[in-house]
Amino acid sequence: MQPQTIEVTGETMPNIDTILIVMVAITGLSVLLQIIFLAVLAVTANKALKAGKEYAEEFRALATPVAQSSKEVLQQSRDLLHTTKDLIARLEPRLDAAATDLADMTRMAREETSRIMVSADEIQNRVRRQAARVDSMTTSVLNSADSAGHFLENVLAIPARQVSGVLAAARAVVNTLRSPSPAGRGGGQAKRANDETGQFV
């Protein structure tokens, strides 16, 4: 098979030049369009970058005081936490000792309360026994005094009557001896005195 040869004649040359010019024009136009697109993209990106910078500045202006305040608050919180930890570390042994002392005091108070209650019951029983003894002793003394009073009354009543009779007889005898009177009269008075003496006896 033999290769075919293309013959270039003068008539086909202008067609090729036209095609080449059209292709160059299309390529140039596409490059120009790309350049315009890239320029528009660059302008848009520049505007977006400026807007982003402005937003970033505004955000920085707003966020800087907040961040500073947050930093100060965080530092104060750390200091407070550190101080609280130190305080708890210092107070923990004292709190443990105080809790132990309070437990001991409570136990001792309960024991003392139990002892006081037992002592109070014992004292109350002793007071009751002593009151009963005093009551019985008082009753016995009063009964003895009453019996002694009756006895003294009975013992002293008879001699008192006898002494009264003897005194009356002596008075009558003295009166008789002082006033002389007839024998009959004297005998009557003596008899009357003897009768009175007998009545008293």
CB of 162 closer than 8 Å to CB of 201: yes
Q: Which amino acid is at 117?
A: M
How confident is the model at residue 4, as a pLDDT?
47
The verdict on residue 14 lying in a domain is no
The verdict on residue 6 lying in a domain is no
How confident is the model at residue 191, as a pLDDT?
54
| Structure tokens that stand for 112 in this block | 């003392």
pLDDT band at residue 63 under the 50/70/90 scheme: confident
The verdict on residue 135 lying in a domain is yes
The verdict on residue 10 lying in a domain is no
15 has pLDDT over 70: yes
The verdict on residue 5 lying in a domain is no
3 has pLDDT over 50: no
161 has pLDDT over 80: no
> pTM for the full model?
0.29
> What is the Cα–Cα distance from 192 to 172, expressed in whole angstroms?
9
Domain count, the chain: 1
pLDDT band at residue 43 under the 50/70/90 scheme: very high
Look up the domain containing 107 and give its range. 30-200
The verdict on residue 80 lying in a domain is yes
> What is the Cα–Cα distance from 88 to 95, expressed in whole angstroms?
9
Mean pLDDT, the chain, whole residue set: 79
> What is the Cα–Cα distance from 177 to 164, expressed in whole angstroms?
20
- The 8-class DSSP code of residue 179 comes to S
The verdict on residue 136 lying in a domain is yes
Burial of 74 (0-12, 13-18, 19+ CB in 10 A): exposed
